[in-house]
Copies of this chain bind each other. A is one copy, B any other.
Amino acid sequence: MKLKAMINSLNTNLDIQKSETSKIENVDFENLAFGRTFTDHMFVCDFIDGKWQQPKIMPYQAMTFEPSARVFHYGQAVFEGMKAYKDNAGKIWLFRPEANHKRINISSARLAMPEFPKDYFFAGLETLLKMDKEWIQPGIGNSLYIRPFVIATEPAISASPASTYRFMIICSPAKAYYSGKVRVLFAEKYSRSADGGVGFAKASGNYAAQFYPTSLAQEKGYQQIIWTDAHTHEYLEEAGTMNIFFRIDDRLVTAPTSDRILDGITRKSIIQLAEDNGVTVEIRRVPVTEIKEAARNGSLKEIFGAGTAAVVSPISAFEHGNEVFEIPDLENSYASKFKKQLQDIQHNLSEDKHGWRHEVK
């Protein structure tokens, strides 16, 4: 209620420049490649002289940057990934958006970047969604992917935090991110993050660091890597853009969050849904040896990834130590059950007993 009031008062303070035409007529919503098509507008707010300036919504467009902008040199860049859904009545919904706002500020703080105020975040986000609401397609699997991000703009290449930043939100219509089942490699040599590092932040550098090892995995026929702890490679942590769950018999096992692991909103929600469904969840270290043994003796029923982009992504095989383990298909899997429950909440098709849905109106 308080938040709504703030947003309304702020809306009037947004500097809004509407696009004269819409690009939507040219979009083939049936054939969308992820993250290549953007809506008509974007939200922009600059941090200058120690404070966030006038927030603006303007036509989606290229922008000029100095070649010396800090983001190009020292990687001060963080982002979020969230989605808007449209229900059958045409209402627009977000899923736990306050968690994204909180997390982008956690990421920013770790990279010595300024936090973005909650009222600006929601005013910008909701106004943008209302202006571009035609871009949100109804139906399960359809969504508008929302990308808030912050980058260091100061034109000076000394290795220290910038004094100017830009916060932006851009939006891209999306279908499900992964199609089909995913085969993964358990990491044995490369790693994603260090103790005392920035793995828990959605920091841009964490992603580029994964591309090369992932390309090696892809050459071997695996789409993704499940990262293990950097020191021993004995414990399973998370995938590139998903947290990971293991179902052993009827228990669900997942690694605890730490400074190496992103505190995923889908992960948190699945843990809650599992508890609601009476499924035991064990949040603890997950030894590679245990998962291999469970695969051998048949108690490993499922592995699945959890993240905003793919919601839930079943994993059909993994390789470790040059051994390949196939995970048999399962009827009534937890993956499909929790995916459906989550999507039903997201699309306003079922009761929302934890108050996760947030209407944009």
**A residues near B, CB below 8 A?**
33-36, 38, 42, 60-68, 71-77, 79, 109-112, 147, 149, 151-152, 155-161, 168, 170, 172, 187, 189-198, 203-212, 214-215, 230-231, 233, 240-241
Q: How far is the CA of A194 from the CA of B192 in the complex (A)?
A: 8
State which of B35, B68, B77, B233 has its C-beta within 8 Å of the C-beta of A208: B77
Copies per complex of this chain:
2
State which of B68, B77, B189 has its C-beta within 8 Å of the C-beta of A35: B68
Q: Tell whether, in the assembled complex, residue A197 and residue B230 are in contact, meaning their CB atoms are under 8 Å apart.
A: yes
Q: How far is the CA of A214 from the CA of B112 in the complex (A)?
A: 9
Contacts known (A76-B208, A211-B160); A187 close to B196, Cβ less than 8 A = yes
Q: Tell whether, in the assembled complex, residue A67 and residue B60 are in contact, meaning their CB atoms are under 8 Å apart.
A: yes
Nearest neighbor of A212 in chain B, beta-carbon distance? B112
Q: Tell whether, in the assembled complex, residue B66 and residue A62 are in contact, meaning their CB atoms are under 8 Å apart.
A: yes
Q: How far is the CB of A110 from chain B (nearest CB, A)?
A: 6
Contacts known (A168-B67, A187-B196, A205-B209); A151 close to B60, Cβ less than 8 A = no
Q: Which residues of B contact A34 (CB under 8 A)?
A: 157-158
Q: Tell whether, in the assembled complex, residue B211 and residue A197 are in contact, meaning their CB atoms are under 8 Å apart.
A: no
Q: Tell whether, in the assembled complex, residue A35 and residue B67 are in contact, meaning their CB atoms are under 8 Å apart.
A: no
Nearest neighbor of A190 in chain B, beta-carbon distance? B196
Q: How far is the CB of A56 from chain B (nearest CB, A)?
A: 13
Most buried by B among A73, A172, A209, A233: A209
Q: How far is the CA of A191 from the CA of B230 in the complex (A)?
A: 12
Q: How far is the CB of A319 from chain B (nearest CB, A)?
A: 17
Q: Tell whether, in the assembled complex, residue B75 and residue A208 are in contact, meaning their CB atoms are under 8 Å apart.
A: yes
Q: Which residues of B contact A192 (CB under 8 A)?
A: 194, 197
Q: How far is the CB of A89 from chain B (nearest CB, A)?
A: 30
Q: Tell whether, in the assembled complex, residue B112 and residue A208 are in contact, meaning their CB atoms are under 8 Å apart.
A: yes
Nearest neighbor of A218 in chain B, beta-carbon distance? B160
Contacts known (A42-B67, A66-B62, A112-B211); A203 close to B204, Cβ less than 8 A = no
Q: Tell whether, in the assembled complex, residue A211 and residue B60 are in contact, meaning their CB atoms are under 8 Å apart.
A: no
Q: Tell whether, in the assembled complex, residue A240 and residue B208 are in contact, meaning their CB atoms are under 8 Å apart.
A: no
Q: How far is the CA of A198 from the CA of B214 in the complex (A)?
A: 14
State which of B68, B73, B207 has its C-beta within 8 Å of the C-beta of A159: B207
10 pairs of A and B residues whose beta carbons are closest in the complex:
A205-B205, A75-B204, A194-B194, A112-B211, A35-B157, A194-B230, A191-B196, A74-B207, A75-B205, A75-B208
Known: A36-B155, A191-B195. 12 other contacts (CB 8 A): A35-B156, A36-B156, A38-B68, A61-B67, A62-B67, A71-B71, A157-B170, A161-B211, A195-B230, A198-B209, A205-B208, A230-B230
